[in-house]
Amino acid sequence: MRAATRILLSVITSLWTLTAAAQTVKIGLINTYSGPLASNGEQIQKAIDLFMKLNESKLPQGVKLEFIKRDDTGINPETAKRLATELVVREKVQLITGVVWTPNAAAIAPVVTEAKVPFVIMNAGTAFLTTLSPYIARTSFTLWQSSYPMGDWAAKKYKSAYIAVADFGPGHDAQEAFTKSFKAGGGTIVGAVRMPPPTTDFAPYLQRVKDAKPEALFVFVPAGKNATALMKGFGELGLAQAGIKLIGPGDITTDEELPNMGDVPLGVVTMFHYSAAGERPANKTFVAEYKKAYGPNAWPNFISVGAWDAMQAILDAVIQQKGKLDPDKTMAILKGWKNPNSPRGPISIDPETRDIVQNEYVREVRKVDGVLANVELETIKAVKDPWKEITGKK
Ligand code: PHB
């Protein structure tokens, strides 16, 4: 081969490699794959896998998404920060997503700000998170979105309530939001307790509640196995028999765990943005696809939907930029991103706050076709994060 030809060939090869590399979008996925709280991470991963299976063909020709997965093993902010730093510095990811836990998302925020890497939060729900970086957008929820209208609703039914929450960001938000609206509606908070988030022994806390004899008990604990442990404790101590109504955000009647909770949750009323039992056609399709992929007894939950909608937003940003992601352009696309047809109903990202706007549903656990389901009874439309509405924080 002549020297000139060889040079030309090598130029073509490196150009080709360059173009191919530019078309692979590297996404850092920080998620909980191990430890006692891993069932929540599993919901995220299954939703991403299903989304990719059904939508990968919509990517522009030659464009690929490459997920670089990292395990934060649970509520571990230091680990999350180290993983995010490695993803940015070593792996040169163009976007970070995942993240079940508020403390982890808060620890990642300064890293993405410094590196100018968009961070799409798939779950973590403490209100202030989006204010920590202009590179954060959230597709999940805030605890204020559920617990504030829950307090309103509860004040019309009950005169007194006791509050029990997991002692970290989302629990603190749930407590503050519920207290504010329940009191404003004329209700009295007769007691409040904060429980360490990894605990599964709720008996000592629930005994105090039983002794205080409130009309209602408002609870937030993390969804997944923790919610099932809470429900077991509530059943065993006979709080329902003592006339205490259990209420809360939908985390405590998380759809995928309902089959493991016995009959204890029957009649429990929660406020939430997603129910697997939702009658929307987009939800029917989503649940059917989920069951086709993971088996007839598998249920998606709100965490699956947070991840599913995040993937749609990311896909749209990738398509609009033909696979060449610019961080500020990506954020501009995410601000004001809309999906009128999410499994949870119409959603959008508020351009002012980069936080999700969505319906909240009053739901009651009932038996539908022999299995427990969060049946939607009322809809509160297009709820913005009330904490930001009240405080004006952005
Ligand atoms: C959070 O850490 O923000 C979080 C975790 C689990 C939930 C809700 C919020 O169910």
Q: pLDDT tens for residues 342-358?
A: 999 999 999 999 999 99
pLDDT confidence tier of residue 211, bands split at 50, 70 and 90? very high
Query: Average pLDDT, stretch 55-74?
Result: 98
Q: pLDDT tens for residues 172-188?
A: 999 999 999 999 999 99
Measured in Å, residue 19 CA sits from the centre of ligand 1 at: 40
Average pLDDT across the chain, whole number: 95
Measured in Å, residue 207 CA sits from the centre of ligand 1 at: 25
**Atom 7 of ligand 1, nearest CA residue:** 222
Please say if the pLDDT value at position 393 is more than 70: yes
| Residue 206 and residue 237 in contact, taking contact as beta carbons nearer than 8 Å | yes
**Atom 6 of ligand 1, nearest CA residue:** 222
Query: What is the DSSP code (8-state) at residue 244?
Result: P
Query: Average pLDDT, stretch 63-79?
Result: 98
Token pair for 292: 């086709």
Interior/surface letters 214-246, b for 16+ CB within 10 angstroms, e for the rest = bbbbbbbbbbbbbbbbbbbbbbebebbeeebbb
pLDDT in the model for residue 240: 97
Reference 221, options 230, 212, 233, 210; nearest CA is 230
Measured in Å, residue 124 CA sits from the centre of ligand 1 at: 5
Please state, in angstroms and rounded to a whole number, the distance separating the CA atoms of residues 214 and 244. 6
pLDDT in the model for residue 198: 83
What is the residue type of 175? Answer: Q
Tell the burial category of 289 from Cβ atoms under 10 Å away from its Cβ (0-12, 13-18, 19+). Answer: middle
Please state, in angstroms and rounded to a whole number, the distance separating the CA atoms of residues 104 and 345. 28
**Atom 2 of ligand 1, nearest CA residue:** 101
Please say if the pLDDT value at position 18 is more than 80: no
The ligand 1 atom at the shortest distance from the C-alpha of residue 104 is 2
Q: Which mutation among 251, 252, 274 tests ligand 1's pocket best, with the greatest number of atoms within 8 A of CB?
A: 251
| Residue 371 and residue 256 in contact, taking contact as beta carbons nearer than 8 Å | no
Q: pLDDT tens for residues 192-201?
A: 999 999 899 9
**Atom 3 of ligand 1, nearest CA residue:** 124
The ligand 1 atom at the shortest distance from the C-alpha of residue 251 is 10
Measured in Å, residue 99 CA sits from the centre of ligand 1 at: 9
Q: List pocket residues of ligand 1, CB cut-off 6 Å.
A: 100-102, 124-126, 169-170, 222-223, 251
**Ramachandran region, residue 349 (left: φ > 0; alpha: ψ -120 to 50; beta: rest):** beta
| Residue 82 and residue 108 in contact, taking contact as beta carbons nearer than 8 Å | no
Query: Average pLDDT, stretch 147-159?
Result: 98
Token pair for 372: 């427990």
Token pair for 33: 């794959």
| Residue 34 and residue 73 in contact, taking contact as beta carbons nearer than 8 Å | yes
Query: Average pLDDT, stretch 26-35?
Result: 98
CB atoms within 10 A of CB 192: 14
The ligand 1 atom at the shortest distance from the C-alpha of residue 40 is 6
Please say if the pLDDT value at position 97 is more than 70: yes
SS3 at position 197:
coil
Tokens 């925020």, located at residue: 109
Measured in Å, residue 165 CA sits from the centre of ligand 1 at: 12
Please state, in angstroms and rounded to a whole number, the distance separating the CA atoms of residues 167 and 329. 37
Measured in Å, residue 113 CA sits from the centre of ligand 1 at: 22
Query: Average pLDDT, stretch 145-165?
Result: 98
Please state, in angstroms and rounded to a whole number, the distance separating the CA atoms of residues 111 and 84. 7
Query: Average pLDDT, stretch 126-142?
Result: 98
Please state, in angstroms and rounded to a whole number, the distance separating the CA atoms of residues 137 and 300. 22
Please say if the pLDDT value at position 132 is more than 80: yes
- Distance between the two ends of the chain, CA-based, in angstroms? 63
The ligand 1 atom at the shortest distance from the C-alpha of residue 103 is 2
Query: What is the DSSP code (8-state) at residue 116?
Result: T
Interior/surface letters 303-339, b for 16+ CB within 10 angstroms, e for the rest = bbbbbbbbbbbbbbbbeebebebebeebbebbbebeb
Q: Which mutation among 123, 139, 140, 147 tests ligand 1's pocket best, with the greatest number of atoms within 8 A of CB?
A: 123
Measured in Å, residue 125 CA sits from the centre of ligand 1 at: 6
pLDDT confidence tier of residue 12, bands split at 50, 70 and 90? low
Measured in Å, residue 126 CA sits from the centre of ligand 1 at: 8
Please state, in angstroms and rounded to a whole number, the distance separating the CA atoms of residues 145 and 125. 9
pLDDT confidence tier of residue 241, bands split at 50, 70 and 90? very high
pLDDT in the model for residue 13: 53
| Residue 389 and residue 148 in contact, taking contact as beta carbons nearer than 8 Å | no
